Amino acid sequence: MHLQAATHTSRRARLTTLAVPAGLALGLILGAAGCGSSDRPAAATPPAPAPPGKWSTGDLHSHTTQSADAGQEQTLDLLLSKAFASYGLDWLAVSNHLRPSTRDHNGAALPAPITMAQGIERYELPRIAALQAAGTYADKLAFSAFEWDMPKHDHIGIGLFAGGAKLATATRGVAEFEYLFTNRDPALFAAADVAAWSAKYAGRRYYSTADDALKAVAWLRDNYPDNSYAVINHPSRNRSYRIDDFRQFNDMAPSVFFAIEGMVGNQMEPDRGGYGAARTADNAALRTYGGVDYVVAQLGGVWDALLGEGRRIWNVADSDAHFKTTELYSSGYFPGEYAKTHVWLKADGIAGLLDGLRSGKSFAVFGDLINALDFKLAKGAEQQEMGGELKVAAGEQVTVTIRFKSPARNNYEKPINSGVAAGVKPLVDHVDLIVGDVGAKAAPGTPAYSAAVNPSTRVLKRFTSADWTVGADGYASVSYTLTAAKSQYFRLRGSNLGSNVAGKTQNGEPLADAKTETVDHQQRFNDINDRNYASLWFYSNPIFMTVR
């Protein structure tokens, strides 16, 4: 890849990133014998030519010192070095808060606050371009995005781009968005721009109400229909999003709103993910489960309800990096250190990444539990992968095939920040094949539009090492045959944990994460790190099956 320039409330009063792994090209033939719904093993599928493209890893949510709640030492150079040089990512979105900035990219205090749009244009993009010109990260993709405080909701990560065949961050668009959808002092913007925008929007600005949030989604759709994205960040942290919101955003702008950060960042917080609501039964949805937001972690919950309408809404994993540890506090890992989103790319650059993200051919991982996944649904020689749709007739035999691989080691350090690798090879205990029925989209204004469950969702089959075979290439392979009866989707979930681990899993389902309350701060940092690497998960995006 070629490098292109392109608030966190849980931090309270304290201070307060993506390379194609070697051997990641995945063949289309899956390993031999597995389990099936019949007594016979699934028939082997003949090899097919590898599809054009490559796997990549990245992070859509990271901060530098230009965000007020990030560490002053979290410079742009540090973030890029950690993401690309240390942890081998291929692409990274630098997504600072869309708030006034008082520091430059090196952490130096500015004479006066500036808009984040100005921070992007004056500091982020020029520094990325300078590094590229000097040959640093020349094969990587870095770009500027931002995290917006959505009115009446929480944070949403937004990227918008312009430039025709070679997309780059649309700095003029960022400035217009910041003026229109925040309460920023007009004096911070160029007077000519304010005059033009005031005339364009009849003096109105939109930063207070839920309707204003919808206006922003519509603005992205109307102005950057193919060249923008809006990803819900840490969706359940503050109980400020409902499934109605997700449905409405997706109905309004399906090419813009197509992803949810289900595998949240801030994993170094004592409350995993920074989900610090009171631990009561009523707040079950405000917890993380194996570090995963309840929207995605709950079997048959919000994500499954959306998929059950056939909505193409995908899960991603991010770092939400602000700082790792300070003298007394901890926040999150660096980009690529713990969380990775693996995306199949058919082309380089921002346009290729946008297409890859929209396609749904992606999976998200904590702690490098796996670094390769080949997941397919086939009838005979016809097959589909994650994000795809296989059309079949009722009664046809369909085969699910799964191949995955884990690296020799992950980034687990012991003790933390020591640079000493723990030397632990991540091992998958089991992989769940999850299925749910697909029906019509819910209509606005009906009870179904507010329904946040999909009762049909279930674990169709749980695979363990007793079911899969491991080839000389290190890939574990398993297959499963079923008879198509109705339209459904299939997705995968895997963990290093057994099905019943005290305090962590029950009957294979993740339990709410406990808060780490060690008093000594250095020991607490190590306890949090140990907690996180003891509970690793991956989630695939779904494959749809439509029965004609």
pLDDT digits over 21-45, tens only?
A: 333 333 322 333 333 333 334 444 5
- Is pLDDT above 80 for 377? yes
Question: In 236-348, where does DSSP find H-type helix?
Answer: 243-252, 294-297, 302-307
> CA 369, 511, 286, 443 torsion: positive or negative?
positive
CA 84 to chain centre: 18
Intra-chain end-to-end CA distance of the chain, in Å: 40
Predicted pLDDT at 164 = 84
Radius of gyration (Cα) for the chain, nearest Å? 23
Q: How confident is the model at residue 51 (pLDDT cuts 50, 70, 90)?
A: confident
C-alpha to C-alpha distance for 300 and 306, rounded to whole angstroms: 10
**What three-state secondary structure class fits 456?**
coil
Q: Can you tell me the distance from the alpha carbon of 261 to that of 231, in angstroms, rounded to the nearest whole number? A: 7
Cα distance between residue 146 and residue 360, in whole Å: 22
Mean pLDDT calculated for residue range 101-105: 98
What DSSP element (H or E) covers 169?
strand 168-169
Mean pLDDT confidence for 56-60: 99
pTM confidence score: 0.91
Check if the beta carbon of residue 174 is closer than 8 Å to that of residue 117: yes
Select from 282, 319, 387 the least CA-distant residue to 53. 387
152, 171, 372 from 364: Cα distances, Å? 28, 29, 10
pLDDT of amino acid 260:
99
Which tens digits make up the pLDDT trace of 328-349? 999 999 999 999 999 999 999 9
pLDDT digits (tens, 9 = 90+) for 62-86: 999 999 999 999 999 999 999 999 9
CA distance 296 to 281: 19
Q: What is the reported pLDDT for 168?
A: 98
- Among residues 57, 3, 27, 62, the alpha carbon closest in space to that of 362 is found at 57
Residue 194: what pLDDT? 99
Q: What's the token pair of residue 223?
A: 């102005």
Task: Report the range of poorest mean pLDDT among 164-168, 213-217, 245-249, 370-374.
Answer: 164-168
Question: Concatenated DSSP letters for 316-384?
Answer: EE---BS-SB-SS-B--PPTTTSEEEEEEESSSHHHHHHHHHHHT-EEEEETTS-SEEEEEEEETTEEE
Determine the Cα–Cα distance for residues 104 and 85; give it in Å rounded to an integer: 22
Q: State residue 100 phi and psi, 5-degree precision.
A: -60, 140
Domain ranges of the chain: 9-20+33-547
Q: Could you give the CA distance from residue 32 to residue 475 in angstroms, rounded to a whole number?
A: 12
Burial code (b: 16+ CB inside 10 Å, e: under 16) for 344-355 equals bbeebbbbbbbb
* Mean predicted lDDT score pLDDT of the chain: 93
Checking if the pLDDT of 480 tops 80, the result is yes
